[in-house]
Structure 1
């Protein structure tokens, strides 16, 4: 049996079937954390789960779970899988022998393992405590906020309510959703002195209220950083997708004072993906949210500042400084700037779509809406990888998922493995040569008019859910007149700026631009926003890292 638990303190739980090892792990943990955390010890997966159930009933928090891999009846991975149902936010560590490292690596994908420790872990000051310190820090940021969580009250088919929920979810701010016509939603509105005419209402974790907040106001109140700590940095990274996060990690880890500025939420389009299956090191795939969370934590661990809900509207060259202007008139400057603003989904240009966006029509995965799709007929517009991944994700609960592909077949860019799996679920259907001609509905989506591009025939189908993935475009108008772009708005860099071996117009240095450098010295571009980039998560991360290397080279020669 596990030791008795104390509901008044946050728990670190360790389980090992070897009594000597179990006592040794608990001893080392108590020595370091006993004054701040309750260390609970168990000698089997079953008794550890019993302890966790008791902790759950008492309302206790569990911050870290350390489980031995080789246990009879229930091994460490099996225990962690069941423990996730009780405390999904607890950080997970597998204790394993060197011969079992393969199983530990597999567990990274099975239970989203945070770390694995090899036996012996001595000295704990070098091998155990640094790992647990990092995990406790991460838990406190994401799941251990003592003040509770935010509450959002809104109308089911309100576009603004959907935007607020998506903003909080993508920024990993825990919240609970209440419809305004539900009893609890009505009670919260009454407590806030609101009649429900102005929605959404956000009740912050400290009990404050916000009515129809914008992203900047909301970010400030829920604890996200929106204001830079300094006026001047070594490096400003604009955009928080994979390329921007990669640049922030490498910039900060290599000693550059780095600030990352993001308009909405870190992760970009990749952060909205239900599953990324071709990223190196994750053979079973990883969700965009998981990958983004790890990258955020890694960047802040090295000292990078991450600013959220800041709209960048301009870039200026002021001598040796590169200045980024914000929409509120403030600005921040640095020696170098990396543009990593990525791309945004193109809008569907059909009758009625604008009025119903956020009310049944969504761009991208909109993962906060997918639970409501259970048992529903869902339509996805697009045929590339992102659309296919969304179809696979939604097929778990929807009654049917129909992919609408404009061409006669799936795009050549879709991965072969994904194409094969889409054909497997009986609820997924692919309609080629099909486009959406119109959307219909009053306060929410009710019907779609579909047209066969080969025959011209039209058909009306009933649905409340349509997700759009029809390609992407860069949002780079704010760079007009400063940085050279191609006809589609993508930023030109390196050899593309000087195909004839001559420097671009306005170039002031006696060398040609570096590979990822733009037409402005000291300003670089990485990821999807860059012209002729590979448009893949791995390549975006790689370009972010490469851009930092070129930043160093630029600074050394300046």
Structure 2
């Protein structure tokens, strides 16, 4: 690969030359500075760079350009070079648009014209973007090739793991000529999928998630054996705890079984989170939080599951699924919840083959000209309906309750009502799923009449209930009858502390029945199921960790 690219886009040749001149003067030894005269020209240049495998580090686009303005270009460029950091060059009169772009398309910064002197107004901003770019996953994974079958559950899981962890890859269908050529070159066959080919020509046949994560550059092994704080779970609560723990000087490691962001990370657009009036995708929010945690020194382990928690004197020891152990002074449990299984005939065999739990955004393109069904009546289901309506011929929400208003935020109900391709069927449940190798039809039941109807369907997305991921904590901490973890005052019964409690005080507000082990987010009993509250609990848990450590 060549040197990383800094690409400037401006339709004014004089401005374009001036920006490129200043960038070359400061960054020319380590980076290639390219310029384009329009958004279309810049997109074509990005396509060529991507084909050659050349990394693109920074995009700097002028706001006011004919045919395609800077914001539109940066939004389209995200599909081609998702790792590149993005900045908008704008006049003072357009600062409102620039600020909106930071929310709408995750623009990293904006620069005002004129930018003289560049040492004060240009270089510090570009330096910050380059730092962020270098901290994202290894650019050499750009050459990763993934070959699989469209209706293969293992192939779907591999695509989903890479996509949710923001790892660029090239997808090839094993049933098509390009995919067959890659398989032949790798010495593999259709029965070996998913097949992964790395940039250095290593071939992995149906790899496990941890093996796949490791080969594409994600951290899967702990650097140390002992930490001040271990955070289990990488959703909003876990990321909040990791950011605050690391920023306050605690040696912090976060262990996540899939990808950072949790269920919130799969949301196509979160519009009621403080500070983002125009909304932000769950993936963008998770990526920002992940980068923030890493900036402060937190260690992130991905594709690793924690299977046991033990107390060894003052140490809290966690056993990982690969047999390793890590220990810490304190633990924050932020494992969140999983979508509950439909539990009806045919669904288990078709999961990952047309039936998906969560948004499964990697399937969006496959939904074109299809009729999509979404099960659930809460915000996550509503956000998915709005998202898939951009691609599918129609989207139908199947809601068990009598109305959306009882379980969904008003702003989402209004959005759904305004999209003609979305329909809502209330008092309706899924009674079965049918298909030979992939989903072909679903059977729905009207709860009021008991009547059943079979509908052709290729995609069914499920967003029902929430089952806590706490089975591995059996015997370690107290759980309620549903598996959620009570904390603080909820552990006291008639003024008595939990059995085995060995410190001379009551449990702190977010503390479990095991001193030094805290809970944040959806997995906590009676928690508020909102992103903002989860982040707040993650931060609060770290404050209580400090209090716990001070008393030892």
Q: Normalization by structure 2: what TM-score?
A: 0.92
Paired residues of 2:46 and 2:81 also in contact (CA < 8 A): no
Aligned: 1:404 with 2:398: yes
Matching residue within 354, 357, 361 for 2:351? 357
Paired residues of 1:389 and 1:418 also in contact (CA < 8 A): yes
Between the aligned partners of 2:534 and 2:280, the Cα distance in structure 1 is: 16
**What CA deviation, in whole Å up to 9, does each residue of 1:261-305 have, x standing for no partner?**
011111110111111111112222111111111111111111111
Instruction: State the secondary structure of the residue aligned to 1:92.
Output: strand
Matching residue within 312, 327, 336 for 2:330? 336
Matching residue within 426, 430, 436 for 1:436? 430
Match of 2:250 in 1: 256
CA spacing shift, 1:203–1:73, aligned 2, 3 Å? closer
Match of 1:4 in 2: none
Paired residues of 1:448 and 1:463 also in contact (CA < 8 A): yes
Match of 2:417 in 1: 423
Give 1:103 deviation, angstroms. 2.7
Paired residues of 1:142 and 1:173 also in contact (CA < 8 A): no
Aligned: 1:316 with 2:310: yes
CA spacing shift, 1:356–1:8, aligned 2, 3 Å? closer
Match of 2:24 in 1: 30
Between the aligned partners of 2:382 and 2:260, the Cα distance in structure 1 is: 23
Give 1:29 deviation, angstroms. 3.4
Instruction: Structure 2 unaligned segments of length 5 or more: list them.
Output: none
Give 1:104 deviation, angstroms. 2.2
Match of 2:109 in 1: 115
**What CA deviation, in whole Å up to 9, does each residue of 1:364-415 have, x standing for no partner?**
1111112111101111111111111111111112111111111222252300
Between the aligned partners of 1:152 and 1:17, the Cα distance in structure 2 is: 38
Match of 1:11 in 2: 5
Aligned: 1:380 with 2:354: no
CA spacing shift, 1:120–1:340, aligned 2, 3 Å? farther
Paired residues of 1:384 and 1:411 also in contact (CA < 8 A): no
Match of 2:295 in 1: 301
Match of 1:391 in 2: 385
Match of 2:274 in 1: 280
Match of 2:86 in 1: 92
Q: Normalization by structure 1: what TM-score?
A: 0.91
The RMSD of aligned alpha carbons is: 2.7
Match of 2:482 in 1: 488
Paired residues of 1:53 and 1:86 also in contact (CA < 8 A): no
Match of 1:206 in 2: 200
Aligned: 1:477 with 2:471: yes
Between the aligned partners of 1:154 and 1:398, the Cα distance in structure 2 is: 23
Match of 1:3 in 2: none
Paired residues of 1:248 and 1:299 also in contact (CA < 8 A): yes
Give 1:184 deviation, angstroms. 1.3
User: Which stretch of structure 1 is more off in the superposition, 55-64 or 356-365?
Assistant: 55-64
Equivalences, count: 549
Paired residues of 2:397 and 2:425 also in contact (CA < 8 A): yes
Between the aligned partners of 2:10 and 2:180, the Cα distance in structure 1 is: 48
**What CA deviation, in whole Å up to 9, does each residue of 1:320-352 have, x standing for no partner?**
211111122211011111000000000011111
